[in-house]
Structure 1
Amino acid sequence: MTLPAPLEELVEDFEAVGTKDKLQLLLELSQELPALPARYADAADSMEQVHECQSPLFLAVEVDDDAERHVHLFFSAPPEAPTTRGFASIMHTGLDGEPAATVLGVPDDFYTALGLTQAVSPLRIRGMAAMLARIKRQVREQVGDGQGGEP
């Protein structure tokens, strides 16, 4: 599996620990999710909701106009939803600032390598998969490539 370096590092971190420590790592990541910029202050009106998540999660994707079309991710999730925030933080840490082609190339099931399927419910895993699907769709829309190939 080919992943961008920051996402690969996270996968390695999760692979290196047991189930209980995976949950602790997810909790720590949830606390690192960056605050939203003012332009996304009203998440419900300015961001896309990921309905598959068990807790309210909103996301926005911005793609630069530079040659590599760098992707920037923004997430809103309540502090009382640490699993959802942890998943969002994984996406942010692993994909924010990466070129569009790199983000589009992330395998749809990369999250299986995190080993979280024994630590969290299948519904929560489905929410993470939906986050990635929405990110990729928004990137494709912004780079003008409806097929998801190289921009």
Structure 2
Amino acid sequence: MHPTDFIGRSLPPLTVVVERGPVAAFARAVKDNSEVYQRPAAAREAGLNGLPVPPTFSFVMRWWGAFGELQPEVPAGTVELDDLIGALRADGGLILHADQQFVYLAPIVVGDVLQVSRVVEDVYTRPSRGGQTMTFARIRTDVRDDVDHLVLTETMTLLHRP
């Protein structure tokens, strides 16, 4: 497949359980020592309904809370991120993480069970200053809570350069 053939294609959906241990470990890993990620009482004192996730936690939560038995059926026509990366690298070159954006619409807290859907929004090219053609792939992730409210939109842009 050509990289532009991925536009509009979905990646496998996920169900993710937000757990206390991974949230606390992630906060420590990114050097955020705030007690609101460690102690329920500190989170309550801050006016939160539970231990919140650090701002960029959603980027890794699919590896810490996506238990096999909770995963939804994968619809036909779904592609893997590795398939897109393989198409981008078909003629060699490097893949770089060019951009990441997080738009939170509601707090995500420990105990939430989230539905994650991902789609390849766009694949486009731009010339580099050196005259090479760079290819960008933008993947949008929508995260919904257990009553189907959108709580987060995350956008990742990958860059392929020859």
User: Normalising TM by the smaller chain, what interval?
Assistant: under 0.3
Structure with max Cα Rg? 2
The structure with more helix, counted as a fraction of residues: 1
Could you tell me the TM-score, scaled by structure 2's length?
0.25
Could you tell me the TM-score, scaled by structure 1's length?
0.26
The structure with more strand, counted as a fraction of residues: 2
